Structure 1
Amino acid sequence: MRRSEAREHIFKMVFGLEFNEKEEMPEQVRLYFEQLEQMEEKDKEYIQKKAWAIADHKDEIDTLINEHASGWKTTRMNKVDLTLLRLAVYEMKWDDDVPVSVAINEAVELAKRFGGEESPSFVNGVLAKLAV
């Protein structure tokens, strides 16, 4: 599985954290993977591990986002943009396998697919400030 494809699945899992209690997530993850046709076990493990890592760093990530999103707080952001920012910030700060430029570019591409009209520029702007 390509990293960009895995990243989309991670985005969807992290997005689900906004609507489910943490205790419910193992069952939600099981149901998510069940709906996919064929996925190798190593890909499932990678996706789940990264989604949990993002959830574990959520408070730290949100602090960074709040410090760099001029005029916006995470409590006011739409859930798609917030989830994309969380994923990208995690990759930028804690995932040494992902170059900062790749994390930003992938987040912007996902924003084009899943976000609103202003999402790509908003996500890019916040992440660019974080990258400095």
Structure 2
Amino acid sequence: MKRTEAREHIFKMVFGLEFNTADEMPQQLEMYFDQLEEAKEKDREYIQKKAQAVAEHIEEIDRLINEHTTGWKTTRMNKVDLTILRLAVYEMKWDDDVPVSVAINEAVELAKRFGGDESPSFINGVLARIAD
């Protein structure tokens, strides 16, 4: 599985955090992976590990996002954009395997696919400020 495809699955898992309690997440992950038949075991482990790492850093990530936005705090953002930002900020700050430029580019691509019309430029702007 390519990293871009794995990133999309990670995005979907992190998105689920907004709608499920911590106690519900293991069952939700199991059901998600049951539908993900084409993924090899190493892909599943990578996806789960990275989604969990993002979840563990959400407070720090949200603080960084809030520090670099004006008029758009995480509590006001739509959940798709917020999830994309969380994943990208995690990759930029804590994942040494992902160059900052790749994290930003992949986030913009996710925004084009899953976000609204303004999402790609919004995501790009916020991440550019965080990258500086």
TM-score > 0.5 by shorter chain: yes
Match of 1:40 in 2: 40
1:87 and 1:96 map into 2 onto residues whose CA distance is: 14
User: Which aligned pairs between 1:18-37 and structure 2 lie closer than 5 A?
Assistant: 18-37=18-37
Aligned partner letter, 1:28: Q
1:117 and 1:103 map into 2 onto residues whose CA distance is: 20
TM value normalised by structure 2: 0.99
Match of 1:73 in 2: 73
Matched, 1:121 2:109: no
Q: State the 4+ residue runs in structure 1 displaced beyond 2 angstroms.
A: none
2:30 and 2:69 map into 1 onto residues whose CA distance is: 34
Q: 1:23 is paired with a residue of what secondary structure?
A: coil
**Alignment RMSD, CA only?**
0.5
1:38 and 1:124 map into 2 onto residues whose CA distance is: 31
Deviation sequence 1:73-93 (CA, Å, 0-9, x none) = 000000000000000000000
Aligned partner letter, 1:91: E
TM value normalised by structure 1: 0.99
Q: 2:110 is paired with a residue of what secondary structure?
A: helix
Q: Which runs of 5+ in 2 are unaligned?
A: none
Aligned partner letter, 2:97: D
Q: Offset at 1:14?
A: 0.1
1:80 and 1:35 map into 2 onto residues whose CA distance is: 21
Aligned partner letter, 1:92: M
1:8 and 1:56 map into 2 onto residues whose CA distance is: 19
Deviation sequence 1:4-27 (CA, Å, 0-9, x none) = 000000000000000000111010
1:3 and 1:38 map into 2 onto residues whose CA distance is: 14
Q: Offset at 1:37?
A: 2.2
2:95 and 2:37 map into 1 onto residues whose CA distance is: 28
Report the identity percentage.
Answer: 79
Aligned partner letter, 1:65: I
Q: Offset at 1:36?
A: 1.6
Matched, 1:64 2:64: yes
1:38 and 1:108 map into 2 onto residues whose CA distance is: 25
